[in-house]
Structures are given as C-alpha cells and as structure tokens.
Amino acid sequence: MSKLIRGTAAVPMIGKATLAILGLAALSACGGGDSTPPASTVSSSSVAATRYGSPAVISIAGTNLDSAGLSVTSSGCKNMTRSTTGQLVSTATNAYYTCTVSGAFTSSVDIKSNGTTIATAPFTVPAPQVTFTVSNGLGVNGAIVLTLMGDKVPTTVDNFLSYVNKSPSFYKGTIFHRVAKLINDPSHYFVIQGGGYGATVNGQLPAHKATDAPIAVETAGGNNVQWSVAMANSGPGTVTSEFFFNAQDNTAILANGYSVFGNITAGVDVAQAILAAPATCANNALAGSIDCLPQPDVTITDATQTR
C-alpha cells in the first residue's frame, strides 16, 4: 500500500533503514566518506645521476602518478621537485622529479603511495673532486686536486662547491694569502690558507672579496691531518669562502673546531712548492703564528669541479 499526499503524485512510504542507506550514499557522493587519495602504482623507475652537487632526474612510469598520495623522497638528493614544464612534463602515467645530489655517494629514491613504499630506485655518484690550477710565475706551477667528503659534511661541501661553480668561479684569481708557521715551532709549516683575497697591490692585500651568507661549522669530516683541507672560521657560524691546507698533522693543535671537508689527492708537490715560494713574513701574536704572504702572488688561475 502507498499513502497519497493531497495534490501530489503518489510517494511510497520510506522506512528508517532505507533513509539511513540513502543518507550514507549522499555523504559518499559529496565526499564525506573515504577521503584517501587514489593509490599509485609503479611499473618502472630510474634515476639519472652523474655528479655530486649536480641535478638528478627521476623517471617514474605507472598509474595515478598525479595522486595527492604520491611522495618521492631521497636522503641523498635535496630539493626534490616534481617537473611540470619543458621536456619533462609529469602526467598520471609518467612522472618526473628533479633534485640535487647531496649528502651521500650511494643512495636511493623512495616512492610511496599513501605512506606505503611502492618502489625504490638506487643511484651512485663518485666522490666530488675540485682542481685548482696554481701559479706564481716562478717555481709554483701546476694543479692541486681536492677530493671532497660530501657524504660526511654535506653543508660544507655544498657551500664550497657553490663558490667553485660560480660563473666565473669565485676562486679564480684569488691568492694563497697566508703560509704560516707556529711561533713555538718555526721549523715546520702549519697551514696554507686562501680563498678570500684577490691580487696584492704593492705587496698589500686588497679588501676581502664579498661572500655568500656564512654557514655553521661541521666537524664530522675528521681531524686536521696532513694535506687535509678545511674551512677557515672566526667562530661558530662564520664559515664563508676561505679554506686552508694542513701542511702538517694539526690534529692536536686545531682539535675539532674546523670543518675538514676533503684531502689533497694529487698535487702535493705543488702545495709543497707554495711552502717554498718567496714570501714576506711577520709574527701574528694573536694566532701564535708566523704568517707569510707569498710574493709574487701564488694565484689560483682556475678552479673547476672536475668530478
């Protein structure tokens, strides 16, 4: 039986159970039910990465790759960004991400859908190297190769590479302005320091080159052993562009207050030639050292990331 409502068409009686079902259906239609984003799937993934500090490209094929639940991360690649322009336009079936290799030489990209890992793409790059070409027009002439510890002190290495890779390189035309011995041990050289000053004028240092914002001191790189390279600083949070080569084992002298970020792996003979170059020297009582300014200038004529 159906009940007639005056002046309208017949409407069947609706029970409470039916109303409840219809209400749930209405909520679902309006988005009030399960709000989990569509699950993504991956049929293939790869990482094109060739050099530390340079961009890497992650390519993913699958389904629902435009879902809000898709996440792509890596502990060895920073600034992960989904590509939506140029030749790498991401879609629901092909997604592309870019990032900058940093923090590890062997790592992986983790692809997750709604928090669950659905694919992992490994990658490996060699330890970065920087080559300084050095000359004073006399007995100093050659290349010094630095191999960097990007897997141990990534902030320091990234900072150093940012100076190296400016166009032109920040270090091109800078000089080694300090070849130092310790006052209490003048028979041994202490450090070779550079990275802050351009050519001397009448034997005097010019104003320091303008630098980027300073960074903190990272000490995970190790000790100041002979021919390691570290960043100079004047206290916490003051690391900019200046670096030094440890001309002897300074582990006990410098303790752990400097960012050691690499080693000279080729060209020690060139570094030794800098120690022997003609220089004007003066006592630096504050630092406890005899500081020598090579004359003529020992200049970095070129600085390049060669790996």
Average pLDDT, the chain: 91
Query: Which CATH topology does 41-124 take?
Result: Immunoglobulin-like (2.60.40)
26-77 confidence digits (pLDDT tens): 444 444 556 999 999 999 999 999 999 999 999 999 999 999 999 999 999 9
| Short-list 190, 185, 130, CA closest to 162 | 130
| Short-list 194, 85, 96, 63, CA closest to 136 | 194
126-142 confidence digits (pLDDT tens): 999 999 999 999 999 99
The architecture that CATH gives domain 129-305 is: Beta Barrel (2.40)
- Give the pLDDT confidence score for residue 287 in this predicted structure: 85
Q: Which residue has the higher pLDDT, 170 or 25?
A: 170
Domain residue spans of the chain: 41-124, 129-305
- Give the pLDDT confidence score for residue 13 in this predicted structure: 47
Q: Which residue has the higher pLDDT, 2 or 256?
A: 256
With a cut of 80, say whether residue 222 has pLDDT above it: yes
Lowest-confidence region among 15-24, 99-108, 133-142, 220-229: 15-24
> What's the Cα-to-Cα distance from 230 to each of 133, 194, 218, 275, rounded to whole Å?
18, 11, 10, 17
**Mean pLDDT of all residues in 173-194:** 94
- pLDDT confidence tier of residue 212, bands split at 50, 70 and 90: very high
